[in-house]
Amino acid sequence: MPLKRINNPQLRSVAEWSIAVVAAVFLFLALRTFVIRVANVDGLSMEPTLYHRDIVILSRLTYLFSDPKPGDIVAFPYKENNSEHYIKRVVGTPGDVIDMRGGFFYVNGERLDDAFSDSPVASYGDIGYPYTVGDGVYFVLGDNRNGSKDSRYGAVGCIPKRDIIGKVVVRVWPLGRFGAAG
């Protein structure tokens, strides 16, 4: 049965606006679910790259077609409280051997290029070194190595790819620091 044309101009306008609003909401939800996500940086663990209260955009599509790479900044849920999300930098991929000697991290025998800090790291965490990153998981660290809960600690551990919410691609707030993140 064909739909009848609405002859009342006011009713037609309301119908058109309703369709536009529903389409916009659907598009927003689809983008948020499958393409991008907005995240707030909470804490000091990613300084000096990202600061407390920065707002970033995550790409949810990036890891549908590729795997996280060392240097990528990713967001993921905290194991002990899934409503809390962490943002950290990938430093180890499956099969990599992470070691810590003299307060510095080594990946596969090479000292991690830590442009964020010249200071030795004070905490080795509660894992044993050398540590081999397992299949399908990623070893992550905060850029503020001395002020971060990350893969050095069992409460965070290595992050399965399926748990990564997205890759941080751009900082949108504060406007004075708008641009690529990391």
Please count the structural domains in the chain.
1
14 part of a folded domain: no
Residue 99 lies in a domain: yes
* Whether residue 88 has pLDDT greater than 90: yes
- What pLDDT is attached to residue 10? 74
Q: Could you confirm whether 117 is annotated as catalytic?
A: no
Asked if residue 95 belongs to a domain, the reply is: yes
Give me the domain span that covers residue 110. Answer: 36-180
Residue 31 lies in a domain: no
Q: Which residues contact 178 (CB under 8 A, 6 or more apart)?
A: 170, 171, 172
Residue 49 covered by a domain: yes
Q: Examine residue 67 and state whether it is found in any structural domain, yes or no.
A: yes
Looking at 4, 13, 18, 45, which residue is catalytic? 45
- pLDDT confidence of 136, banded at 50, 70, 90? very high
Residue of 13, 79, 88, 151 marked catalytic: 88
Which tens digit of pLDDT belongs to each residue from 31-69? 555 556 777 778 888 888 888 888 888 888 888 888 999
Residue pair 81/182 in contact by the 8 Å Cβ criterion: no
**Can the peptide bond before residue 94 be classed as cis, meaning omega within 30 degrees of 0?**
no
Q: Compute the average pLDDT of residues 9-25.
A: 70
- The verdict on residue 162 lying in a domain is yes
pLDDT at 181 over 80: no
CATH number of residue 121's parent domain:
2.10.109.10
Do the domain assignments include residue 163?
Answer: yes
- Determine the Cα–Cα distance for residues 109 and 182; give it in Å rounded to an integer: 24
* 88 included as an active-site residue: yes
> How many Å apart are CA 111 and CA 175, to the nearest integer?
35
